Structure 1
Amino acid sequence: MEKTMEEKEQRWQSIQVRGLNFSYGGEGQPWFITNFNLDLPKGSRQILVGANGSGKTTLLKILAGKHMVGGKDVVQVLGRSAFHDTSLVCSGELAYLGGSWSKAVGCAGDIPLQGDFSAKDMIFGVEGVDPARRDKLIELLDIDLHWRMHKVSDGQRRRVQICMGILHPFKVLLLDEVTVDLDVVARLDLLDFLREECEQRGASIVYATHIFDGLESWATHIAYIKDGKLKRFESLSKLDEMKNARNMFEVVESWLRAESNDNDSEVTSPAIQSNITRPLDLSPFTSSRHMAYYR
C-alpha cells in the first residue's frame, strides 16, 4: 500500500503536535496551552525557552504522556501517543527527566532518590542495561558508587538521576531544568554526550532551560513559548537575531524583556488581575562566561 504524505512526513519527525489545547481545570476552564503546533525532526536538539509559568513544564509532561489530551493524534511521539501507548516509556524509547528527585523505572512507578541507599543500588537496579553504556555514564558523570543518596549534595544526587534516566538508549529525551545543579564541567561533558547520541543514533532532545552557556553550538532548534502559545520555532542556523547577538542569552533576554514590557503596558481591570496566577518574575542575572539564569 502506498504511504500517504502524512505517513512519510512522520518518518522524519520525532515529535508532532497538532492543534493542542490543554487545561488543568477541566471542562469549562480556560486553556493553559492554546492551539499549539510543533514538528521536531529526528536527530534534532531543541532548546525550549519562556518566562516562568509560560507552559514549558506542562508541554514536556504532555509529551511524556503524563497528561491526557483529546485525541490520540493530537500529540505524537515517534508516531504514537505517549499517554495511550505506555510501551514508549516502558521500553526506554521515551525518557523524561524533570525537577523532582525521582526516576520512573520501567512501568513500576517512581523511585525516590533521597533514601538511605547507595548510588550503586540505584543505578544497578535498572534492568536491561548495556553494561558498557552504564560504565561510560558512571565515568562521564563522575559518580562514586558508594555515595549514600541521603547524604550527598543536590548536584551529586542529580548526577545519579541523570545517569539512571539515560541508561537505556532513548530515541526522544525530554529534559526539564535538570542541569541546574551540575557544575560547569559536568554540564558540558553531559551536553557533549547528548550531542553524540543525536548525531550517531538519530535521537532527539527537547531541553527546557534558563542556562544558555555554550548552547549556541549545541542546539539545532529553538522554541519560545509565551502564555501557553508557541511564539517562535526556528532552526538556530536561520534565526536572524543570532546573526547580530554575541550569544543565545542575548536573544532570549530580548524576547523576555519585550514580553515583560508588553505585560507592563497592558491596562488590566482589578477583576481580571485577581484571576491571574501565572508568575512573571523575569529578573535576570549573568555570571561569568554568560551562564544565565532567570529566577
Structure 2
Amino acid sequence: MNALSVQGLTKHYPGFTLDSITFSLPRGRVMGLIGSNGAGKTTTLKSLLNLVHPDSGTIEMFGKSFLENEENCKQNIGVVLGEIDFYDQKKLDTVTAVTKRFYSKWDEKAYEKYLEMFELDPQKRVKDLSTGMRVKYMLALALSHNAKLLILDEPTSGLDPVSRDDLLGLFRKLVKDGERSILFSTHITSDLEKCADDITYIKGGKLLKSAEKSAFIKHFDYLKKPDEKTGLSLEEIMIRTERRSYDV
C-alpha cells in the first residue's frame, strides 16, 4: 500500500495552472519534490494539506481518500517546516501543550524520548532555537503523535553543512522500519542525492518525471554531452532543463 497517491491533481490560478500532477509515494521511502521557484511545488503541498482546494484530481493517504477520511489522515500527517513563525516568544513546553490537544494518538513518553534524542530543552523559547533545532522540534511534535507521513517543505534551507548532514541521516533512520514515509520539497538537490529514494520533478505546473532515483537520472540521459559517461547529478539535470538563453 502506498503512503500517498496523487492522481490528476489540477488547480487553476490566473496566469498559472498546476496541471494533472500524478505520483505515488510507497511506504518506507523518501521522495524528493523538486522544481524551480513558481513551478507548483508549494501548491502541490498545500493541496495535500487541504490548505488549497484543487479543481480536480484525487489524493489518497494509506489507501483512503483524504476528503472522505480527513480527520484520520490529519492524525497520520506530520508537517515539518524549515521555520516556525508562530509563538516565537513562547517556551517549547507551552507550544507543545497547545499542539498535543489536536492529536488523539499523542504519546507523551515518545515526546520525552525525542526531546532527549534531539537535545531539546522544553524551557527554551522558540526564538532561542537555531534553525536546525527548530526543525528537530517540529519533527519531535510530528513523531510524538505517531505520524506515518512526514511532509517536509525546505527543512534544510539555511542550515550549515554539519546540521544538514545530521538531519539527512535522521530522515533515513525514520523510514528504515518501513512504517513512515517522507515527502521532501527542496532546492538543495545535493541533499536528495544523499537521502531520497524517489524523485518527482515539476516544471511550469506540469509533471516532468516521477520515478525511483536511478531511473529518474537515467531518464534524463538525453541531456548529457557526448563526452559525458556517467549519469548527471540532480542539480545538473535541473540546470540543463531550466536553463534559459539571454541575448546581451
TM-score interval for Structure 1 and Structure 2 normalised by the shorter chain? 0.7 to 0.9
CA distance in 1, matches of 2:71, 2:180: 17
Alignment of 1:119 with 2:92, yes or no, is yes
Deviations 1:154-189 (A, max 9, x none): 444343333223322212111000222444444334
CA distance in 2, matches of 1:89, 1:18: 17
Shift of 1:90: 4.2
Shift of 1:34: 0.6
**Secondary structure of 2:144's match?**
coil
Q: TM-score, normalised by structure 2?
A: 0.79
Alignment check: 8 A CA contact 1:54 1:227 kept: yes
Q: 2:19 aligns with which of 34, 46, 54?
A: 34
Shift of 1:232: 1.5
Alignment of 1:39-188 (within 5 A): 39-70=24-55, 74-83=58-67, 85-91=69-75, 93-99=76-82, 101-102=84-85, 112-115=86-89, 117-125=90-98, 126-127=100-101, 128-188=105-165
Alignment check: 8 A CA contact 2:168 2:194 kept: no
State the match for 1:283 in structure 2. none
* RMSD (Å) for aligned C-alpha atoms: 2.9
Deviations 1:193-218 (A, max 9, x none): 33233221422111011224454342
CA distance in 1, matches of 2:81, 2:47: 13
C-alpha spacing 1:140/1:212, structure 2 compared with 1 (3 Å): farther
Alignment of 1:200 with 2:159, yes or no, is no
State the match for 1:260 in structure 2. 242
**Secondary structure of 1:138's match?**
helix
State the match for 1:216 in structure 2. 193
CA distance in 2, matches of 1:184, 1:88: 36
Structure number with greater Rg is 1
Deviations 1:69-111 (A, max 9, x none): 245x6222223343553313542x0122335525xxxxxxxxx
CA distance in 1, matches of 2:133, 2:30: 25
CA distance in 1, matches of 2:173, 2:129: 29
Shift of 1:52: 1.2
State the match for 1:291 in structure 2. none
State the match for 1:276 in structure 2. none
Aligned length: 234
Alignment check: 8 A CA contact 2:79 2:138 kept: no
Q: 1:244 aligns with which of 210, 230, 235?
A: 230
- Structure with greater helix share of residues: 2
**Secondary structure of 1:205's match?**
strand
Q: State the AA in 1 paired with 2:88.
A: Q
CA distance in 1, matches of 2:88, 2:43: 25
Q: State the AA in 2 paired with 1:34.
A: D
Unpaired runs of at least 5, structure 2: 222-228
CA distance in 1, matches of 2:134, 2:79: 17
Unpaired runs of at least 5, structure 1: 1-11, 103-111, 267-295
Q: Which moved more, 1:135-144 or 1:60-69?
A: 135-144
- Identity value in percent: 26
Shift of 1:144: 2.1
C-alpha spacing 1:89/1:187, structure 2 compared with 1 (3 Å): farther
